[in-house]
Amino acid sequence: MIAESNKVKDKALIFNIQKYSIHDGPGIRSVVFFKGCPLRCFWCSNPESQLKKPEDMWDNTKKAITTVGEYKTYDDIINEVLKDRVFYEESGGGVTFSGGEVLFQAEFATELARRLRDLGIHMACETTGYASTKTFSHFIEQMDLIFIDFKHPDSKQHRLGTGVPNELVIKNIMYAKEHHDQVIVRIPIIPNFNDSLEVAHQFAHKLNDMHIDAIELLPFHQFGENKYKYLNRDYKMKNVPQLHAEDLEDYKQILEAAGITVSI
């Protein structure tokens, strides 16, 4: 299912608004996390973001079960993020939409971004690009900066790892590159999925085909491990060691040999 499925169009299901973030775009930012995702990546570090409905989860700080996800109006979110406007202005920051998958609530997210931009807020997003190109194109018109994931160059493997094929993702990455000048393609490097040097060669070939000459590699981390326990769900990456930049040196060299600029 790729179409937006908002039950309540004047509200969006949000599971967090994280303040003072410095890793999701330039400057100091507030990150709005949309709940609901059409993918099911087996390594997902935000498993509480996947279902598009509120759900119970153990809160280990409060030592109690809490509900993850709350329906919020435009004003709820705008009023909250504007509290930090002075930090955005002083640092060159703004607001980033993340998830889950923000495009799963694309209509609301597009309108919210438009309203925030009208208020002079710099807008960024982190997306899988998994939505119809029409929906995607309207959304990215409201973005100043787009981070988009490319998880596997082979569609069959992409489907095995994420639950969906990659053709639409590739189409939208190419659309974004053609129609927007601030697009950063990111590849999460996941053990037993896309971390082999064979896949690095496949990526190099595919990225050349797509005329993409710069990417970021995101080494696998274990930040989400406890969340699976708190949600009472199985975690396929249990005890799998994290990766670090130095582990990706050979991978990086293969991409660079194909003329691609790589940052980690």
Q: Single out the residue of 5, 10, 40, 263 in contact with ligand SF4 (rule: CB under 6 A).
A: 40
Decide if residue 101 touches ligand SF4 (CB under 6 A): yes
Q: Single out the residue of 14, 32, 41, 215 in contact with ligand SF4 (rule: CB under 6 A).
A: 41
DSSP code at position 245: G
Q: Single out the residue of 30, 128, 142, 194 in contact with ligand SF4 (rule: CB under 6 A).
A: 128
C-beta closer to ligand SF4: residue 106 or 121: 106
Q: Single out the residue of 30, 46, 166, 194 in contact with ligand SF4 (rule: CB under 6 A).
A: 46
Site for ligand SF4, residues 162 to 221, rule: CB under 6 A: 162
How many residues comprise the chain?
264
Q: Rounded CA gap, 112 and 34, in Å?
A: 12
Q: Single out the residue of 12, 13, 31, 37 in contact with ligand SF4 (rule: CB under 6 A).
A: 37
Decide if residue 125 touches ligand SF4 (CB under 6 A): no
C-beta closer to ligand SF4: residue 34 or 88: 34
Q: What tokens does 96 get?
A: 């980033």
C-beta closer to ligand SF4: residue 38 or 93: 38
From 38-46, 166-174, 236-244, 251-259, span contacting ligand SF4 (CB under 6 A): 38-46
C-beta closer to ligand SF4: residue 49 or 135: 49
Encoded amino acid at 237, one letter: M
Q: Single out the residue of 49, 110, 166, 194 in contact with ligand SF4 (rule: CB under 6 A).
A: 49
Beta strand extents in the chain (DSSP E only) = 11-21, 29-34, 55-59, 64-68, 70-73, 94-98, 122-127, 145-149, 183-189, 214-219, 261-263
**Alpha-carbon torsion angle 61, 63, 69, 71, nearest 10:** -100
* SS3 assignment, position 115: helix
Q: Rounded CA gap, 226 and 148, in Å?
A: 26
Decide if residue 44 touches ligand SF4 (CB under 6 A): yes
Q: Single out the residue of 69, 93, 94, 99 in contact with ligand SF4 (rule: CB under 6 A).
A: 99
State the nearest-atom distance from the C-beta of 35 to ligand SF4, in Å: 10
Q: Rounded CA gap, 110 and 148, in Å?
A: 16
Q: What tokens does 263 get?
A: 């940052």
User: b/e map of 2-33 (b: 16 or more CB within 10 Å)?
Assistant: bebebeeeebbbbbbbeeebeebbbebbbbbb
Angle made by CA atoms 245, 247, 248, in degrees to the nearest 5: 70
Decide if residue 39 touches ligand SF4 (CB under 6 A): yes
State the nearest-atom distance from the C-beta of 128 to ligand SF4, in Å: 4
Q: Rounded CA gap, 79 and 240, in Å?
A: 41
Which residues would be at the binding site for ligand SF4 (CB under 6 A)? 37, 39-41, 44, 46, 49-50, 99-101, 128, 162
